[in-house]
Amino acid sequence: MRNDHQAAEKTRPSGDARTASICCPTDHAPIRLDGDVLVCPNCGLVGRLVGNIPSLMAEADPFYEGKYVNRTKFVPPNDGFLATLPFRIVLFGYPNEVAAALKPGAKVVEIGCAGGVDWFGRRYHMIGMDLSRKGLEIAGENYAQVVQCNATRIPLADASVDGVISACLFEHLTNEDKASMLSECRRVLKPGGKVVFFYDIKTENSVIARYRACRPDLYQTLFLDGDGHLGYTSVDENRAVFQDAGFKIIREVFHERTAVLASPVWYKLSRWPGIPGRVAQVMHFLGSGALRLPWLGLLWAVDCTVGRLLPATFARGMTTIAVKP
Ligand SMILES: C[S@@+](CC[C@H](N)C(=O)[O-])C[C@H]1O[C@@H](n2cnc3c(N)ncnc32)[C@H](O)[C@@H]1O
Ligand SMILES: [Zn+2]
C-alpha cells in the first residue's frame, strides 16, 4: 500500500501544462499527475505521461501508430480570401470553414489531428488528440496540448471547449463510434460551441460508383481496408448522426461531385483493369507531381461551379458545421 503522505508529496494537481484540463475518460473527474502516472481520484490509474505526451491508452494501436503523421505547415499572412486561398485548393476549404466558425483565441479540440495544422496552433488554444503518438509528437510543437486517446472517450470536462474539429477521421469510425464521438463532443462543448468535421462519404459519384460495381474487391481493398475506412455513410445517414446527437447543422459543403477527382483517388482507380485503369493512370499523373497544384485548382473551380449543379449524393466528401444549441 502506498503511504498517503508520500503520495500527497509526490502528487501534484494537473497544473502541469502537459496535463492541464485533462479529465478521467470514464467519470470526467480532473486527473492528478503522480510522477509520470495519471491518476483519477475515483478509478485510480488511467494513463501515463510518455515523454511529454499524456497517454490514456494501455498499448499502442497496431494499425494507426505512426501511420498518419501529416502536418499542414502553411500559415497565411492574414485572414483575407487570397491569403487563405491555398487552403481552399489543397484542403477543400476545411481550415477556412474552421476559421469562419470559431473566433481566434477559442479553445478548440482537434480529434485525429496527426501532425496538426500550424495555422490552428497560432490561432486557437489547441488541444490535439489522436490514437497515434508519432503524429502527436509533431502536433505538440504547435498545439498548446496533445493527448493520446480515443475519439469515443474525450478526456475533458463537460462544457469546457468552444469547438471540436476533425479532418479525415469520421470515415475511420464505425456507426456506433461516430455516435459515441458526437455524444462526447456535445458533452465537452459549451452551449453555442461548434463542430467542424471534414470527411469522406458514401458516394454516387459516377466514376467511383462504376468502379465499385465493376470491381467490389478492389474497392474494398483500396478505398476501405487500406486506409482503415470502416465504411462510408451517405449524406442523409451523416446528417442523422449529427442530429441524433443533439446538434443543429448550420452549414454543409460538398466536395468532388464530378469526374475531376484528386490524384490519390485516381491512383486507386488506376488498378481498374483495361481502358478505365489506363485513363485513371493518366489522370493520376496529371494530378500529381508538377501539375498537382494546377490540378487541385481546377478541382476547386469545378467544385464551386459545375459541381454545385449535381446532387449532393455525388460528393465524395463533405464538411459539416453544426452547433450545440
Ligand atoms: C486519415 S488520418 C487524418 C489526419 C489529419 N487530420 C489530416 O487531415 O491529415 C486519421 C487520423 O485519425 C486518427 N484516428 C483514427 N481513429 C481514431 C480514434 N478512434 N480516435 C482518435 N484518433 C483516431 C489516426 O491515428 C490518424 O492520425
Ligand atoms: Zn475515473
At residue 185, the pLDDT reads 98
What is the whole-number distance in angstroms between the Cα of residue 29 and the centre of ligand 2? 6
Whose CA is closest to 150, among 166, 178, 126, 129?
Answer: 129
Residues of the chain with pLDDT under 70: 1-15
Of 53, 71, 108, 130, best ligand 1 pocket probe by most atoms within 8 Å of the beta carbon: 130
At residue 14, the pLDDT reads 46
33 bridge partner residues: 12, 38
CB-based contact 324:192 (threshold 8 Å): yes
The domains of the chain are located at 4-50, 81-203+228-257+311-323
Q: Using CA of residue 41, residue 44, residue 50, residue 53, what is the dihedral sign?
A: negative
pLDDT in tens, 40-58: 999 999 999 998 899 999 9
Residue given cell 454545385 in the structure block? 308
User: How far is the C-alpha of 325 from the C-alpha of 321, rounded, in Å?
Assistant: 13
CB-based contact 163:106 (threshold 8 Å): yes
**Ligand in closest contact with the CA of 30:** 2
Whose CA is closest to 118, among 163, 86, 75?
Answer: 75
What cell was used for 130?
A: 489522436
User: How far is the C-alpha of 19 from the C-alpha of 78, rounded, in Å?
Assistant: 32
User: How far is the C-alpha of 223 from the C-alpha of 51, rounded, in Å?
Assistant: 35
At residue 15, the pLDDT reads 61
Reported pTM: 0.92
Closest residue by Cα to atom 10, ligand 1, is 169
At residue 254, the pLDDT reads 97
At residue 309, the pLDDT reads 96
At residue 209, the pLDDT reads 94
CB-based contact 294:269 (threshold 8 Å): no
Of 56, 64, 118, 185, best ligand 1 pocket probe by most atoms within 8 Å of the beta carbon: 64
297, with CB counted inside 10 A (0-12, 13-18, 19+), is: middle
Query: Which CATH code of 3.30.390.30, 3.40.50.150, 3.10.580.10, 3.30.1280.10 fits the domain covering 81-203+228-257+311-323?
Result: 3.40.50.150
At residue 6, the pLDDT reads 41
Tell me how crowded residue 227 is: count the other CB atoms within 10 A of its CB.
16
CB-based contact 220:163 (threshold 8 Å): no
Question: DSSP readout, 43-75?
Answer: TEEEEEEETTEEE--SS--TTTTTT----B---
CB-based contact 139:71 (threshold 8 Å): yes
Closest residue by Cα to atom 27, ligand 1, is 114
**248-255/317-323 β-pairing:** antiparallel
At residue 10, the pLDDT reads 38
At residue 287, the pLDDT reads 85
180 close to ligand 1 (CB < 6 Angstrom): no
**Ligand in closest contact with the CA of 29:** 2
Residue given cell 499527475 in the structure block? 33
Residue 113 alpha carbon, nearest atom of ligand 1: 6
**Ligand in closest contact with the CA of 153:** 1
At residue 13, the pLDDT reads 42
